[in-house]
Amino acid sequence: MRLKKTNWSRDGGWTFVEAMLSVVIMSIMVLGLTIVLMAFREHLDRSWSIRVMDQYGNDVIERLTHELRNAVDVSVRNSYGNTQEIIISYLDPNYLDRTYKHRWRADLHTNQIKVDNAPIDPFFPPRKPGRGESYQILQFTLTKFGVLTPNPDENREAHFRNQAFLNATYDIRFKVRYNRNAINPGERNWSYEKEYSNRVYLRNKNLPIRNRVD
Amino acid sequence: MSVKFKKWRQDEGGIDFIQLIVGLMIISIAAVGTLQALYYGYDQLDFQMRYRKAISIARSHVEYIQGRLHSDYSDKRFSDLQFTAGNLNNPDIKLLDQRDPSRDYDDIYCEVSHGPMVPVNLPDTKGDDYWPISVYVRWSEPGENDVVPIHMVHFAARMVPAGF
């Protein structure tokens, strides 16, 4: 059988048209791939930064929840911005008629949560952020059940509960924003806010042991 | 040896246009596959975050139940009897994930319910010893249209009654 020889497969090298066509196709491919990879890299950078924020947010919530569970009392006062100072009292394990306190607050200058003026995580915000990147604490509050909630039924529910419950049930809310400002012409500022929350019932506040420190 | 194979063996270098096109197609398919895998991984990260949030919501609901059983419960109050009967058939709807507001994504809500709670009285003690608590959080991921949400977190806990 005689092989049909096409114009595209000759042994004598490429014609000018073939060479130009291949250059055009390869250019389009490289350009497309570059755009996709740059977009994907931006996507990954944002994603990584949000994970860092998640890690910190969850860490703050877990640690505060743990401390509140062991507390015998808590007092809250307003601080800068939409943040509060949370003063938590514990029973001293060695002297059960004494208490000691921890003071939680949001430092809006360094954008860190501090306990007795020491940051709970010295590596947040990251020490070497990218150009235009920053984190911002928007909210750090401890409110009674039903006062500050995205679910309206909880607000209604609070009106039916007694004081013993309301004085011991608290909602923690911690909101952080990640900013990614434009650096190059044609870029746009981008930011992402996320709220972390949890609820704690202060068991020790309604236990007989509480009477020992009053 | 076939004619084609002989011809390939005699080829002394260089590629022709067809080979170039085939090569580019293979690279394109590989690139698309890799990118799809990366996007799938990113979606999985999102799912894991929602799963963690669902656990947090379940735990918050457990705290609420524990608080009520401990400080705001009377077996003579009808609303409390309803409360201990559970709400598996009538779950509360709560916000699970507030998604990127700069995009056209809907927020994700979840159903929060708890099973019936019956106090346990251990044989050697007087009165109720503890209440077993079961909380369920169910939700659907974006793109899932099941009537019953298929993702679920089950959180079990106990609470002692007041004056224990």
Most B CBs within 10 Å, among A169, A177, A202, A209, to test the B interface: A169
Q: Do A9 and B28 touch (CB under 8 A)?
A: no
Interface predicted TM-score (ipTM): 0.74
Q: Do A165 and B38 touch (CB under 8 A)?
A: no
Rounded distance between C-alpha atoms, residue B63 and residue A28, angstroms: 58
pLDDT value at residue A210 = 47
Is the pLDDT assigned to residue B71 strictly greater than 90?
no
| List of chain A residues whose C-beta atoms are within 8 Å of the C-beta of residue B70 | 201, 203, 206
How far does A17 lie from chain B, in Å, by closest CA?
11
**Per-residue CA distances from A126 to A49, A51, A122, A191 (Å):** 9, 12, 9, 17
How far does A187 lie from chain B, in Å, by closest CA?
15
Rounded distance between C-alpha atoms, residue A112 and residue A120, angstroms: 8
- Smallest Cβ–Cβ distance between A29 and the set B24, B38, B52 belongs to B24
- Smallest Cβ–Cβ distance between A22 and the set B20, B52, B56 belongs to B20
pLDDT single digits (tens) B118-143: 988 888 777 778 899 999 999 998 88
Residue A154 has which token pair? Answer: 């909880």
B113: left (phi over 0), alpha (psi -120 to 50) or beta: beta
Q: Considering only A41-55, B2-16, B44-58, which range has the smallest mean pLDDT?
A: B2-16
> What are the E-state strand segments in chain B?
92-97, 108-114, 131-139, 151-159
Find the closest chain B residue to A18 by CA distance. Answer: B17
Rounded distance between C-alpha atoms, residue B141 and residue B111, angstroms: 13
pLDDT value at residue A10 = 55
Tokens 């608290």, located at residue? A170
Rounded distance between C-alpha atoms, residue A105 and residue A116, angstroms: 8
Q: Who wins on pLDDT, B81 or A3?
A: B81
Q: Do A201 and B66 touch (CB under 8 A)?
A: yes
Ranges of chain A whose pLDDT falls below 70:
1-12, 208-214
pLDDT value at residue A5 = 53
pLDDT value at residue B143 = 82
pLDDT value at residue A12 = 66
Under 8 Å between Cβ of A158 and A146: yes
Who's near B112: CB < 8 A, 6+ residues apart? B57, B58, B61, B91, B92, B93, B94, B135, B136, B137
